[in-house]
Amino acid sequence: MKKIRLEEFNEHEIREVQIDKAILAVGSTECHGAHLPFGCDTFVAYDIALEVAGKVDQTVVVPPLWYGMSLHYRHKPMCISLTSDTLIRVAREVMDSLVYWGIRKILVINGHDGNIPPLEIAARDIKLKYPEIGLAVLDAWWVTAGNLLPEDTFEVWNGLGHGGEGETSIALAIFPHLVDMGRAEGMLPDMDPNIKLIWNFEELTDYGATGAPEKATVEKGRKMKEVLVDYLVEFVRRMDRQGWKYAKA
> From first to last of its 249 residues, what are the pLDDT tens digits of the chain?
789 999 999 999 999 999 999 999 999 999 999 999 999 999 999 999 999 999 999 999 999 999 999 999 999 999 999 999 999 999 999 999 999 999 999 999 999 999 999 999 999 999 999 999 999 999 999 999 999 999 999 999 999 999 999 999 999 999 999 999 999 999 999 999 999 999 999 999 999 999 999 999 999 999 999 999 999 999 999 999 999 998 876
Amino acid at 79: C
CA dist list (Å): 199 to 192, 202, 204, 205: 12, 8, 8, 11
DSSP β-ladder status, 59-61 and 21-26: parallel
Contact 44, 111 (CB under 8 A): yes
Count of all residues that appear for the chain in the document: 249
CA torsion, points 52, 54, 55, 56, in degrees to nearest 10?
90
> Using one digit for the tens of pLDDT, what is the confidence trace for 118-177?
999 999 999 999 999 999 999 999 999 999 999 999 999 999 999 999 999 999 999 999
Alpha carbon 99 to its chain's center? 21
Helix (H) or strand (E) holding 59: strand 59-61
Examine residue 246 and state whether it is found in any structural domain, yes or no.
no
Alpha helices in 32-140 (DSSP H): 40-53, 84-100, 116-129
Burial of 96 by CB count in 10 Å (0-12 exposed, 13-18 middle, 19+ buried)? middle
Specify the CATH number for the domain of residue 33: 3.40.50.10310
Neighbours of 148 (CB within 10 A): 15
49 closest CA partner among 175, 221, 232: 232
Examine residue 126 and state whether it is found in any structural domain, yes or no.
yes
Examine residue 130 and state whether it is found in any structural domain, yes or no.
yes
Phi, psi of 106 (to 5 degrees): -130, 130
Q: Is the dihedral of CA 125, 126, 132, 134 positive or negative?
A: negative
pTM score above 0.95: yes
In the 8-state DSSP scheme, what is residue 203? G
Distance, in Å, from the CA atom of 66 to the CA atom of 243, rounded to the nearest integer, reads 31
Q: Which domain holds residue 118?
A: 6-241
Examine residue 199 and state whether it is found in any structural domain, yes or no.
yes
Examine residue 60 and state whether it is found in any structural domain, yes or no.
yes
Alpha helices in the chain (DSSP H): 11-17, 40-53, 84-100, 116-129, 141-148, 165-174, 218-241
Examine residue 134 and state whether it is found in any structural domain, yes or no.
yes
Q: Residue 1's pLDDT is what? A: 75
Contact 130, 99 (CB under 8 A): yes
Examine residue 249 and state whether it is found in any structural domain, yes or no.
no
Phi, psi of 146 (to 5 degrees): -65, -35
Amino acid at 71: L
In the chain, how many domains are there?
1
Is residue 85 helix, strand or coil?
Answer: helix
Q: Residue 50's pLDDT is what? A: 98
Examine residue 149 and state whether it is found in any structural domain, yes or no.
yes
Q: Residue 248's pLDDT is what? A: 77
